[in-house]
């Protein structure tokens, strides 16, 4: 294989990587850029597992390739964060759950720092990602909504049952007083 073939092969591989990253960005609801310098392999494996558990993905991708993949996506603002080694977090389901997992990991591992992210086309700095992580997740909001919907019915049921319950308590107290 000649040197020209090697260059063409690596160029083809780069094009494939750019296309794959572009597809990840198209599928993602949120992308976050992190700096992972100093993390051990074990810590990186743990981070990836945590992110996967939150319906996300953590990838280390060369800045030059990401810069190309960011074109024509809502994540273009992240280009300004492309300095040094970066890890990319892609959220595919609930961005709040994923940001909670990422912030929790970053708080317990000082080697991982959050540079910023884009959610719904809006750029967030690291403080914005932390604010997002403090919001209630989709399941928490659904549970609260369900409780609010059920509250009037539960209260109505109690109101309807109360006269009967009073009668039962009154009869029980009469029975006890007669037996004494």
Quote the pLDDT of residue 7: 40
Query: What is the spatial distance between Cα 22 and Cα 71, in angstroms, rounded to a whole number?
Result: 8
Mean pLDDT of 140-146: 75
pLDDT single digits (tens) 11-21: 678 888 888 88
Q: How far apart are CA 168 and CA 7, in angstroms?
A: 89
Has residue 34 got a pLDDT over 90? Answer: yes
Q: Which of 9, 37, 33 is nearest to 21 (CA)?
A: 33
Per-residue pLDDT, averaged over 22-31, amounts to 88
């Amino acid at each position: 294989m000649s040197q020209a073939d090697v260059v063409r092969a690596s160029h083809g591989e780069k094009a494939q990587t750019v296309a794959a990253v572009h597809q990840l960005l198209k599928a993602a609801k949120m992308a976050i850029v992190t700096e992972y310098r100093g993390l051990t392999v074990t810590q990186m494996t743990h981070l990836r597992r945590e992110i996967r558990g939150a319906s996300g993905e953590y990838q280390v991708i060369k800045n030059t390739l990401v810069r190309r993949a960011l074109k024509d996506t809502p994540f273009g603002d992240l280009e300004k964060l492309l300095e040094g080694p970066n890890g990319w977090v892609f959220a595919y389901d609930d961005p709040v759950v994923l940001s909670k997992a990422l912030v929790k990991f970053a708080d317990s591992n000082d080697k991982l720092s959050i540079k910023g992210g884009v959610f719904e086309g809006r750029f967030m700095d690291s403080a914005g990602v932390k604010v997002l992580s403090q919001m209630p997740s989709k399941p928490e909001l659904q549970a609260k909504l369900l409780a609010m919907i059920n509250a009037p019915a539960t209260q109505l049921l109690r109101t309807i049952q109360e006269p009967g319950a009073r009668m039962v308590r009154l009869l029980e107290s009469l029975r006890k007083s007669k037996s004494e």
